[in-house]
Structure 1
């Protein structure tokens, strides 16, 4: 029950300062890709899907390192260690997509809901970090809107 509180209460979310947060973000990213595997496969049809999967993981890791470096420069090392946990709400993306399809709404909004959920959990909205996150989300949404 303690783990579920971090999805709702910002204070509990900010208290997590463990080094395992980066591993959790990679697990969340891979869970989202596997849950949308058919769409991922159709996006990269005609190429080696395994290598594209690895390339996506490398690109996501570089994105996290960039954000963690920005957070470390702006807010300190302790915040940078826990920053990758802002990707945690994306674990609910397949559930959001299913619920939106039941309501006859565009399933692509599932990523928007998860993005807004992660913005609400982050404590400080530093303009530089927020602009990098919004740019990355807009690039993700350009691909995802064709998936769903």
Structure 2
């Protein structure tokens, strides 16, 4: 069975975002590859301003969930476009965990669609875009199990 991980793309601030996510989830980086670490290719020259950008990084949120990311380099034909077609959903084990993650991830949030609160399907639920434009849902089902 495959394991699903989330991969996030950024337009130059991946390193800053992952430092933030490391503090939210209290977990270290698994490492960083930068574009300058790639072997040189004369058919695809690396722009000097892209050298220190993040080609790949990752953190483990728990034993089975990883958050990975990279910067997009426009000259390579890739640009991150923010939208609401994809969300990262954090299904928490306790109300306290939901509140803690919400309080950390919504610092300087770009948009709070639904503040953390009770819904008919969950004791606590929220959806928002964090300060980097990444869309999140926080969910604590509690005593509102699906029938």
TM-score scaled by structure 2? 0.32
Larger radius of gyration: 2
* Higher strand content, 1 or 2: 2
